Amino acid sequence: MKLALAGINHRTAPVEVREKLAFRKDEVPAALVNIRARGAKEALILSTCNRVEITAALGDGVSTDALLEALPSWDGLSLDAVRPYLYLLEETEAIRHIFRVASSLDSMIVGEPQILGQLKQAYVQARDQGAIGSVLDTVLTRAFSVAKRVRSETEIGRSAVSVGHAAVELAREIFGSLDKKRVLIIGAGKMSEAAVRHLVGAGTTEILITNRTPEHAAELARIFGGEVIAYESFHHRLAEVDITIASSAASEYVLDSETVRRAIDARRNQPMFFIDIAVPRCIQPDVNDVEHAFLYDIDDLQRLADRNLKARSEVARQAESIVEDEVSRLEARLRERDVSPMIVGLQQQLEDLRREVLERHRSRLGALTLEQEEALEALTRSIVSKIAHGPISEIRRYAALRRLDNDPWASDLMSAIRRMFQLRDR
């Protein structure tokens, strides 16, 4: 099987493209079925605000393009229109990418911790759907270990800036002090919780929280001392707030330009600041055209991310070194697994020959004592082991150098050993 990955992220595609390809959680099971129907033996879908990626173990003869065909085509966005934004990775490059994603080296904010949890959730969902087999299980579980090693051996997690933190920093750049600003949080998920945590840290004391599920909003308000407002009526209180941070999972816009215009009129043209950190976006983009309204989406946080990356370049370099080391280790393990069936087959073939010859000549040996039987077994096993040592060492040596399925020389070597020892495919 071949490991392959297809996807887009915040570096290759703007948010208006990413949001059209994003999977909602309830859409993933059907998508996994679709991917496997196209020839993937195993599959996993990672869909976050910054990336949409499909990773799969493809059967023999299945092209990586099968993954592209499994991507959704929404809102009239064809596959041809998406291709310029896509990256396609195979084998080593796919492994390296997964390790970097898990370690938050490929994140908008290097060192942010959320992506590892999102990758673990994607793994669990795919596993529960029966889409995880030995290949993806090996790669993903190793990726989780790599992320742990990066965090324990470097300072990449120290003072890491999450998306929620970046949103608050952007608000502080616009307004300066936030201690007298009233903030509305739309949505009560993890990103909203992170945003509230940083708002409180920045001195904000007046926080309004709304969510489709009131209990979730109430829990967030209880933790941070915020006020819950009904989801159905938060538009009517919009004029009261200076800053709105939206992270709703709604499938449609929760705020449009007309609602914002009415709120600004009621505020007598006092400015309003909106940060939309949801993907798909939940604030209508033309809100930014409303006078005195300032709308930023998740791509606008890239400026803060770039600043963050420069400050953490040495830590990132250390983490990249760990990733490269772990990629080499996993490749060696996978190469060993590539040749294991052949090594087992050779050992079994020689063992069968040993037993056959012993049985054929046993009657000529007469009655043997227990000590003689044991000595005969040890002698013949030793001869077989010495015969097998040469070819097995050569198989392992060659496997340590390159992937067997990508090298014609390796293929010729394997074929020669099979012919010499009359090995059957196992």
Distance CA 4, CA 376 (A): 50
- The residues carrying an active-site annotation are 49
Strand partners, 244: 184, 274
Q: Report residue 275 as tokens.
A: 């940060």
Pairing of strands 87-90, 2-9: antiparallel
Buried b (16+ CB within 10 A) or exposed e, 88-115: bbebbebbbbbbbbbbbbbbbbbbbbbb
- Residues contacting residue 318 through CB under 8 Å, at least 6 positions apart: 153, 154, 156
State the Cα torsion 358-359-363-367 to the nearest 10°.
Answer: 70
Strand partners, 47: 52
Buried b (16+ CB within 10 A) or exposed e, 24-33: eeeebeebbe
Q: Are 90 and 62 in contact (CB under 8 A)?
A: no
Degrees, nearest 5: CA angle 124-97-110 = 90
Closest CA to 354 of 379, 391, 372: 379
| Phi and psi at residue 9, to the nearest 5° | -145, -175
Q: Are 257 and 289 in contact (CB under 8 A)?
A: yes
